[in-house]
Amino acid sequence: MSSIIDTIRDKLPSALLEIGLQGCSAEELISISRSQQVSCLPSVYQDLMLLMGRRGIDWILDADATIQSLTADLKQAVFAEFRWMSMAYPQDIFIFEDHEASTVAFFRTRDCEDDPAVFSNWEAGCFRKMADSLSGYVLRMTEQLQESEQERMKSSQEWSREILHLVYRYDPEQDEFVLIPEI
């Protein structure tokens, strides 16, 4: 496992460790990548899921994020929502976090990066970049578990201020997320 996964594991709250982490299998990772029709999964994501893909990851991300919840049906529902909103979107995304299909977190798989940027769908048919790397995103969410409720709200507000003004649209011609200038 990578050192970032070791860092995340070291920062997990004792309550989560007490109930026990349960990882998924390599075969399940292959199955989920096939079901979402992507050719590769980042090494950071694979290591994270092998550690806690069946139990633990959903607690950290505060969303449906276990191997059992990330299905082809989820991706189809998200794409249908994007089409309904007339949003352009890349086909190579892998949805790793679901908030009832209305908001999802995903990364691109096109370049088979080991630690890709994390995006989320956002209001008005746009996207926002949640973090420059998947490991950074998960580490930030893990650290928030250690904070008191008051600290967590303050930290979340600061994080939101950092990313809320960075709104993107997907440009199919460039096959890239393009920053929309502030108005």
- Of 101-105, 107-111, 133-137, 170-174, least confident by mean pLDDT is 101-105
Say yes or no to pLDDT of 101 above 80. no
Q: Are 69 and 104 in contact (CB under 8 A)?
A: no
For the domain made up of 3-179, give the CATH fold: SMI1/KNR4-like (3.40.1580)
Global pTM reads 0.86
Say yes or no to pLDDT of 183 above 80. no
- Of 53-62, 69-78, 94-103, 140-149, least confident by mean pLDDT is 140-149
Confidence at residue 162, expressed as pLDDT on a 0 to 100 scale: 61
Radius of gyration of the chain, Cα coordinates, nearest whole angstrom? 16
Say yes or no to pLDDT of 107 above 90. yes
Confidence at residue 32, expressed as pLDDT on a 0 to 100 scale: 94
Say yes or no to pLDDT of 165 above 70. no
Domain boundaries in the chain? 3-179
